[in-house]
Amino acid sequence: LTSKTTGAKNIELGTNPGTDTSNFLNSVGLVPGGQVAGNPASVEVNGVAVTAENNTVTLNGVTFNLKSEGTATVTVKNDVDSMVEKIKGFVDQYNTVMDMINAELAESKVSEPTTTAELTSGNLKGDSLLISIRANLRSFAYASVASLPSSMQQLSQIGISTGAVGSSLEQVKSGTLVLDEAKLRKALETNPEGVAALLGKGTASVTGE
């Protein structure tokens, strides 16, 4: 008689743990004292011993599926592609908002409106609140996180800027972001923790330039 449950557990038949209301186990001599319990899975990862009732062990966010006895080398890498896509998505959304703000601030009123759209056209042209929001968004791109190492204090150091040196005046004035994917990938590969801290994962004091 073999249990299908993994780990150091006795076979039990009954509604309460440790009981045998059917008396079957007693009849065949498989009372708890006569059983040979299994052993829990045991593995050592970087000097840390871990045991589990089944063959799945999770340590530091990494799940190991144990197949057999022996040793193995496991290499854990950051998913750079996934992180790049998420940051690209953020840049795209930021630019969408900035383009919308710029369009509203530049839109002129229609002298003789005939539609609802024409009636509301230009209502936000030169709006002080919208200008303030745009300025705050722009300051994000130029801000410096003083509490971080000097090599990881500004977005431009990980490839996010308002344009490379020599960019058009229109690009700079728009306040939209430009992503240097190669530079971002290099930063993520060499210092992922620094990138996370710069993008707001950690707490830091921010100063504008």
Q: Which of 9-23, 153-167, 168-182 has the lowest mean pLDDT?
A: 9-23
pTM confidence score: 0.61
Tell me what percent of the residues of the chain surpass a pLDDT of 70: 78
Q: Is the per-residue pLDDT at 102 higher than 50?
A: yes
* Domain range summary for the chain, segments of one domain joined by +: 80-207
Chain segment 7-17, per-residue pLDDT in tens: 566 556 554 55
Q: What is the pLDDT of residue 2?
A: 58
For the stretch 68-90, pLDDT in tens is 888 888 777 788 999 999 999 99
Q: Is the dihedral of CA 139, 144, 147, 149 positive or negative?
A: positive
Q: Above 50 in pLDDT, residue 106?
A: yes
What are the E-state strand segments in the chain?
41-45, 48-52, 56-59, 62-65, 144-145, 160-161, 178-179, 206-207
Instruction: Look at residue 118 in the predicted model and tell me its pLDDT.
Output: 83
10-12-16-20 Cα dihedral, nearest 10 degrees: -120
State the pLDDT confidence band at 206, using cuts at 50, 70 and 90: very low
What is 8-39 written as a DSSP string?
S----BSSSTT-BTT-HHHHTT-SGGG-----
